[in-house]
Structure 1
Amino acid sequence: MEFVIKISQFLLSLSLLIVLHELGHFIPAKAFKTKVEKFYLFFDVKYSLFKKKIGETVYGIGWLPLGGYVKIAGMIDESMDKEQMAQPPQPWEFRSKPAWQRLIIMLGGVTVNFVLAYVIFVFVSFFYGDTDIKIDSLKGGYLIENPVLLDAGFETGDKVLAINDQKIEKDSEIGQYIIGAEQMTIERDGQEKVINLPENFLGQLSDEGSKNLFRYRYPFIVESVPDTSANASADIQPDDIILGIGGKKMEYFDLFETELQNYKGQTVTAEVLRGDETITRDLKVTQEGKLGVFRLIDAKRFTELGYYEVTRRDYSFGESWVAGGTKFTSTLVNYWSQLKAIFNPSTGAYKGLGGFKAIYDIFPDFWSWEAFWKLTAFLSIMLAVLNLLPIPALDGGHVMFLLYEMVSGSKPSEKFLERAQIVGFFILIALVLFANGNDIFKAVTR
């Protein structure tokens, strides 16, 4: 069931983005009376799942879900229709249109992606508002278990104060600014400390593979005790808070995980808070160092107990346009920083480059419209930025040659454009193979 939910979100988001991106090319092409021969969601290699001709355009759905396309007459694209290009130019063809019209047609897709992302962020702000955790409210700081963070000098209990020169006030800002970070300022035992990060920090995180970086510290609250547990008859009830074992007080669950290793296969006395009363119970510890109880993970309960403070900000419809713009800008800047890091070999960030599985993995295994729309907005920005790269066969490659034509007054020959398209196609294939190969490598090695 979890697979069905994740793949449904993945395909719905991908389909929406592809159709709207191609619509961004289609609308100006039609507005400038340019013939559009095909409009496809996914690629129709050899055959189509569905197709129907309406007017001069064939609309269809291909079987290969790696993207989509519009085939514009008289344009050198991935179809490499040399027979058409060998004929004299016709007034309805792309190559016969003025350069400024061709530029608008080529920029239409990424423009729609940028506008779509902004609009989504606006309505997400309006309908869901912003919920976050204040850094200075974190009781006990962060739990640090990631080996890369430990090697860099972080310790459990640290609070993040700044990344580079950017002051960090909310938990969500850590993920936003950590890409490209060179140093982080933390608070440890009431003292500020600067931790310099290695140049290949992102590469190390990718090699390690864990997504757990800065985690909250929770108390040990009992959710339930299964009938199969060795402590099923130990009078441990839901919502009991285990305060310590063996005479040691422990405020956070991560401390129990370590201490229980000293009592494997033994019985230990636990101090338990039930309501306003503190009681003791003798609990059996398994050979694996576990108590055999399910612990409660409840943000509302942790907030009530003072372990952190959750902030909530709601926006009016007018305010949402400003809030959406802020989110759009920060996401765009953050992704651009990530892309620059990927193309800088010394950072090792290229190791984290992923393909379709990586995109699939970012969707939650439960249905959340808020998460779906936020991820769709991010992917829309990602699609726009990648399409603007000056690689022949991408929109950015076509734009590069059009700008050259407009500045120099000289149009590159069709033979040159055909060869450039072939080179760009092989570059794209190499990038796709590398990204998806990374996915396969990670799946096999981890």
Structure 2
Amino acid sequence: MSAPAPAATTARVPFAGDPHDLVEPLAELFGPLFCYRLPGRERRTLLASLADVWRITTDGIERGGERFDGDVAALLDHLLAEARRGPGADVAFALSYDLSLRLRAEAGIPGGPPPTTAPGRLLGFAGPLRRAVVHDPATGTLSCAGEDRADVMSACARTAARTAPPPTAPLTEVVTDIDPHRYADQLARAREHLLAGDIYQVVLSVPVRVRPRTSLPRYYADVADRYATADYSYWFSLDGATVFGNCSLPHVLARDGRVRSRVFAGTQPAARDERERQERGASLRDDPKYFAEHIMLVDLERNDLGSYCEPGTVVVDRLCEPLVIGPTTYLASDVSGAYDTARGLGGVVLASFPRGVVVGAPKLRAQEVLADLEGEPRGFFAGAVGIYDAARDALTSNTIVTCAERDGPDVLLRCGGGVVAGSDVTQELAELDLKLRYLR
């Protein structure tokens, strides 16, 4: 992640606290806000204004009354090319799952949008980050444009004054929990498709409505603290929509002509130590259902990457390794390949969007089945959020899972799990409850 740009000078402000605590005061300064923590040892966090981004809505693509006549891939390529010409700002983007359905409908592919696609509804955004702050935990500093130094110092002071005591469980009051009867019916209907051979696996998602016991930014910071070891942490607020979450599931990581992604499948409670992690990994690998499901999704990911990578370059870098994320242990596999740089990163981002790991297989038919079974928009759940670092010509994005979206005084949580013909409703409900544990 590059330093904030454009700016004549870069200032550094001491800050030893949690950067998630800066969301509220920086939103007061910058307006619509984007917060993103990148993976890796550096664990730097970006907080930036979204005031200058293009909105992707049900009405088209626009920014301040100006229309963009191309498609989403063309918009991404245009913005990334502008950033590369520099010196320019990093480019942020988020794409909702519902956008993928709209793109399908526009392309004439069956299984289009759910019925509630209201005019003007936000489906995504993409654009440069003109005002930005970068937190570096190694130095305990914030980097910002020199002109913003005084405002950022003031935000740090307000953060210190607002420091809250450690959260007590639960973080929320549950307004509407998982409906086990509705889920059992959905699973039964999904099994009919599975037994008929329409699909091999499908990722059913469920909504839960909760009311945080604190402010929304404080709730996000508390959840992020619970997911401190997760690779990604993300928050964006734009046009009245606020979406946030934490995960370790990449969508597209592209740099130096190579692209990498990851597959999760198979779930157990979080391991407490290395020995237990290996034991739970072995247990998941030895389970015929989990193993077969995981390998099928790895093949789907290889197929998606193979659609735009150079022939013979797609490889599985690691297979079925146990990974602890928040309250869960998953089996994880990494898939990578060398892509044709002439294609454009916009096409790379959309080539595997949405991910099979949050939809099912075959992907197009699974989307049709989900539109019927779920009968409601997914919003940004199963979508993607990320950033393009112009200085390194590197794109980092992650799949949005266990997603939280503001809805008035409440928060809508959504999470999902893959089901196959042999899935047991009691076991699947227990896994969904486990995935929601750190959010409630």
Please confirm whether the aligned pair reaches a TM-score higher than 0.5, indicating the same fold. no
Tell me which protein shows more helix as a share of its residues. Answer: 1
TM-score (norm 1): 0.24
TM-score (norm 2): 0.24
Tell me which protein shows more strand as a share of its residues. Answer: 2
